Structure 1
Amino acid sequence: MNKRILKIALPNIVSNITIPLLGIVDLALMGHLGKVDFIGAIALGGTIFNFLYWGFAFLRMGTTGITAQAYGARNLSETILSLSRALLVALLGSIVILLLQKPIADLSFYVFDCEASVEKIAKSYYYIRVWAAPATIGLYALTGWFIGMQNSKIPMIIAVVSNIINIALSTYFVYGMNLDARGVALGTVIAQYCGLFMALFFILRFYRRLFHYWSRKGMMQIKELKNFIAINKDIFIRTLCIIFVFTFFTTESANTNKTILAVNSLLLQFLFIFSYFMDGFAFAAEALVGKFIGAKNQTGLRSVIRLLFIWGIGISLAFTIFYATSSNWILAALTNSESTILEAQAYIKWIVLLPILSFSSFLLDGIFIGATASVYMRKTMIAATLFVFIPSYYFLSNSFQNHGLWMAMLGFMLARGVFQTIYYKKAILLKFN
């Protein structure tokens, strides 16, 4: 069973690591331009796109769970139909974003209320990167489908190649053409479309035979459409909660001052590094839990969940030690601003605690997605947001300032795992009754 887990997890870890690596490179490119305004601008621009694109993350997660269960049940028709439904939603969603790009920008910068110098840079970044929407959202659907089909190698190849292209182009545009934040945005747009075309090529190359099982009537089947919409609706609401928490975190950072905004933006990279690493095992949970539930194999399900938590405990302990001993050189790699590094060091203790407090939430997300237990994902995320994160912040922030913001974030991550554990039996094991 460990081989099955690692076969899916390792390629996803490799591909996931390139995502925070890309964010780190973007911040490093801006961090070495000599002004904290560039770091803050990239952070704000990235937050806007996190809000937009994370809102469509349900396409990846919902598609994975539905496809994995169809794969486990050997329902070849439903495997290809699930992809076509997801791509249709991706196309419609990206069109809406492009048509509403200006109102979205106006509302976003009104909410952030950042300093004028930061806002100007962030807007130049936003209005270029927004044109990557069709490719980015389309890749969510395609990546989820590949993982549901138990194939993590193709998403790995796509992520690694597209992110290498992104890093190379962004570096050239920033330093070779002096485009500052605009260069980072342009590099992202080109790289995302390269990834989309690669994904479509791989489908035509390796999965063409599944097209024989596709039909327009099957795609528009009312029962399956309702199931697809219901699952993705709950995941969408769950994702909105995450978006709210991270947007709130960045907004409160920006409202404090641009130094705290820069510091928290850098420290969030530690969270993203760990989360994308853990997501490799969460993706393995999605694929294997979905497959075992589709195949009605309860023994396999229990075995894979037990082993996933053993891996999770080991990885979280390793990251705790790594962050406790190596935070200073990571910060130095991100920026050459000594004042920013000095300020960030005051909050490292929260980063050290983060892995061990949050790993279960990542694994349980994957397990719930594989089981298409989306209604319980929605309930637990709403509870963690409304009853833990928000009260914690307002109770702690007056006395502890930015420390209070970080304590609220850690409380939110811990609460997610606790609430999901409470719902575990009802959400997962009752699937076999």
Structure 2
Amino acid sequence: MSSQDREILRLAVPAFFALVSEPLMLLADSAIVGHLGTPQLAALGIAGTILQTLVGICVFLAYGTTSAVARRIGAGDHRGALAQGIDGLWLALLLGVVLAVAGVLLAPAAIGAFDPSPDVADHAVVYLRISCLGIPSMLLLLAATGVLRGLQDTKTPMIVAISANLVNIVLNLVLVYGLGLDIAGSALGTALAQTAAGVALVVVVVRGARRDGAKLRPDRPGILASAQAGVPLVVRTLTLRVAIILATFVATSLGTTSVAAHQVAFTLWSFLALALDAIAIAAQALTGRALGAGDVEGTRAITRRMMWWGLWSGVGGGLALWGLHTFYVPWFTADPEVRHTLAAVLLVAALWQPVNGVVFVLDGVLIGAGDGPYLAVAGVVALVLYVPLALSVIWFDGGIVALWWAFGGFMLFRLLTLLTRERRDAWMVTGAVR
């Protein structure tokens, strides 16, 4: 094994376990809520999509911070790296409070936009409102994770994430079945577990900042700079979230069975996507550090190596997704119609996994390079091409399987735009600050 492979594994393996803990929370929620009934499972699908969108648009708090901190580490500015990380934490707290209030107030309107049946809508509003109370902690968790990744530490986030996942399962079982809180218990349990995780990582970052003499008080210019740098990544993330929301909207129009199957399939897709993203996390940290140190050749070499890792990881994930579906599908639903529909969707999802693997790796490389403006443009292009594909499923009554072929097309469009960028040198800007 080469030194490149060892370094990728050193960062990617802990990042893998940390990343998959989030979808494992969703998988646990889906399994627990799914046995309450199909309306509850469909409600989780809709509310979960909205919640993930609110939190997902702020993923720049992790990704952008990783890049900025790693660049300063590569340039030898450890105190400056932590100071920039603290700015990210303050920004996360401010955004979290705003989004939490907006989510609670606008929950009925947001759920109603999907036009679900009345019983599904009632369950979805309850789940979304309770979950929104945990958004500030979720965003602090993102920002603190980004700081530690930039410091080349993926083990600490892994330990915290695994602990939170175990706590989430216990809380969900106790609150949903032990106390009979139905879907509200699932939302409350997950919010409490994520809050505990966020607090734990913030404490780690603050201790490190104190040790190195970095400032802890809010710094308005630093916070504004972090927000400004995050705008292109927000646009990039919004294009992905819009694509996912559109897929959920189309699935909802196809009926309760379709949206229930879509929820489980998308949860599994997210699990594999974030697992593949473990390599992308390594890409962010290593790319940022290498460019901060001025090592262009090393950046190019590690990029090509990680692309192969992404491709073969995608192949393996696709084989596992389809090969084991008869084993894990019964965990999520007892409805035979949902099971049959889900099996057909999972085959399509499995075929697209190698494409996903390369897409997530290249996304991580360009994020690590601070190439947010290009990622924003590329995301918009892919979305514009995807929208008519998704809507054609409704126009031609194509069904849920056709919808997943269309969503795979969105990932293919992203692959083509990212490969075009990777083959050029414009993204490889060196120095502590891009």
Q: TM-score under structure 1 normalisation?
A: 0.94
Aligned to 1:20: 23
Structure 2, gaps ≥5 residues long: none
Match for residue 229 of structure 1 among 223, 227, 252: 227
How far 1:102 sits from its partner (Å)? 4.0
**Whole-Å separation in 2 of the counterparts to 1:315 and 1:99:** 39
Question: Alpha-carbon deviations, 1:48-93, whole Å to 9, x = none?
Answer: 1112101111111111111110111111232122112212211211
How far 1:119 sits from its partner (Å)? 0.8
Q: Is the 8 A contact 2:296 2:430 kept in 1?
A: no
Aligned to 2:290: 292
How far 1:397 sits from its partner (Å)? 4.2
How far 1:140 sits from its partner (Å)? 0.9
Aligned to 1:30: 33
Q: Secondary structure at the match of 1:30?
A: helix
Aligned to 1:214: 215
Q: Is the 8 A contact 1:16 1:280 kept in 2?
A: yes
Instruction: Write the letter of the residue equivalent to 1:428.
Output: W
**Whole-Å separation in 1 of the counterparts to 2:55 and 2:337:** 33
Q: Secondary structure at the match of 2:324?
A: helix
**Whole-Å separation in 2 of the counterparts to 1:138 and 1:91:** 6
Q: Is the 8 A contact 1:270 1:351 kept in 2?
A: no
**Whole-Å separation in 2 of the counterparts to 1:408 and 1:146:** 36
Aligned to 1:168: 170
Aligned to 2:92: 90
How far 1:133 sits from its partner (Å)? 1.3
**Whole-Å separation in 1 of the counterparts to 2:268 and 2:372:** 28
Q: What is the correspondence of 1:416-431 to structure 2 with a 5 Å cutoff?
A: 416-424=414-422, 425-429=424-428, 431=430
Q: Is the 8 A contact 1:231 1:375 kept in 2?
A: no
How far 1:205 sits from its partner (Å)? 4.5
Aligned to 1:344: 342
Q: Is the 8 A contact 2:88 2:223 kept in 1?
A: no
**Whole-Å separation in 2 of the counterparts to 1:213 and 1:14:** 30
Instruction: Write the letter of the residue equivalent to 1:208.
Output: R
**Whole-Å separation in 2 of the counterparts to 1:214 and 1:165:** 33
Residue 44 (structure 1) aligned with residue 43 (structure 2): no
Residue 261 (structure 1) aligned with residue 259 (structure 2): yes
Question: Structure 1's 64 and 309: CA in aligned 2 closer, same or farther, altered over 3 A?
Answer: same
Instruction: Write the letter of the residue equivalent to 2:280.
Output: A
How far 1:395 sits from its partner (Å)? 3.7
How far 1:174 sits from its partner (Å)? 1.0
Q: Secondary structure at the match of 2:134?
A: helix
Residue 317 (structure 1) aligned with residue 315 (structure 2): yes
Structure holding more helix per residue: 1
Q: Is the 8 A contact 1:289 1:371 kept in 2?
A: yes
How far 1:215 sits from its partner (Å)? 7.5
How far 1:427 sits from its partner (Å)? 4.2
How far 1:333 sits from its partner (Å)? 2.0
How far 1:344 sits from its partner (Å)? 1.7
Structure 1, gaps ≥5 residues long: none
Instruction: Write the letter of the residue equivalent to 2:389.
Output: S
**The 10-residue stretch of structure 1 (145-154 or 326-335) with the greater mean CA deviation from structure 2:** 326-335
Q: Is the 8 A contact 2:149 2:285 kept in 1?
A: yes
Q: Is the 8 A contact 1:373 1:427 kept in 2?
A: no
Question: Structure 1's 395 and 24: CA in aligned 2 closer, same or farther, altered over 3 A?
Answer: same
Question: Structure 1's 56 and 81: CA in aligned 2 closer, same or farther, altered over 3 A?
Answer: same
Aligned to 1:252: 250
**The 10-residue stretch of structure 1 (47-56 or 88-97) with the greater mean CA deviation from structure 2:** 88-97
Question: Alpha-carbon deviations, 1:216-242, whole Å to 9, x = none?
Answer: 69x444xx6665333200001111111
**The 10-residue stretch of structure 1 (312-321 or 95-104) with the greater mean CA deviation from structure 2:** 95-104
Residue 358 (structure 1) aligned with residue 359 (structure 2): no
Aligned to 2:329: 331
Q: Secondary structure at the match of 1:342?
A: helix
Q: Secondary structure at the match of 1:372?
A: coil
Instruction: Write the letter of the residue equivalent to 2:144.
Output: L
